[in-house]
Amino acid sequence: MAWWSKLLSTTTYTNDPMKYLIAGLGNVGAEYEHTRHNIGFDIVDHLAKSNGAMWKLDSQAYVTEIKHKGRTLVLIKPTTYMNLSGKAIHYWMQKHKIPKENLLVVVDDLNLEFGLLRMRDTGSDGGHNGLKNIQQVLGGADYPRLRIGIGNKFHKNQQVDFVLGKWNADEKELLKTTIEKAANACLSFAAIGLKFTMNQFNGKG
């Protein structure tokens, strides 16, 4: 075996502490665009647009990258549909050697008042199928997530229609501010870390 082959075979590749994976959850397809369930997509779209980044379709996700304060943020919108989000997230973590603590999942939350933000380093899936799958694939719930409140103002047995529905007129007026704050929370997570970002943004609407 040549010396360089031996070197390659014994090289240990470590995680990159300056790389972050920001995964906005949602469903692909025109019928799901800008629905409550897709707010994760809308937030990473805002990050990409604000930084002049263009999306490309790659393995299991739309992907792009932005830079912020010396960090590289890999943004993804999984194309696996919500219930298999973990598959895409795991793939891109492996591809870019991103440690679990540098993953941030951006997701809608029925249990939070519309517009409120809540970042945590762990927690239950709260009945959210996307989070449930991520927990299964990653082998635990100890990964950072940013929950975006979408409220729960729906009648009995109307939860699915509400979640997959479009924003109403009142919500649309506040939505831009919510998306901007959530996008800033993502940048803050990469720049100053989870704890300081939680103090700055949690409960903010």
Contacts of 23 (CB under 8 A, 6+ apart): 40, 44, 76, 78, 85, 88, 89, 92, 103, 104, 105, 106
Contacts of 144 (CB under 8 A, 6+ apart): 101, 103, 104, 105, 119, 120, 121, 189, 194
Considering the candidates 34, 37, 90, 155, report the single residue annotated as catalytic: 37
Is residue 46 annotated as a catalytic residue, yes or no?
no
Which of 90, 125, 95 has the alpha carbon at shortest distance from 107? 125
Tell me the two tokens of residue 76. 């993804």
Which of 124, 120, 127, 122 has the alpha carbon at shortest distance from 148? 120
Question: Are 21 and 77 contacting, i.e. CB atoms less than 8 angstroms apart?
Answer: no
Contacts of 5 (CB under 8 A, 6+ apart): none
Catalytically active residues, by annotation: 37
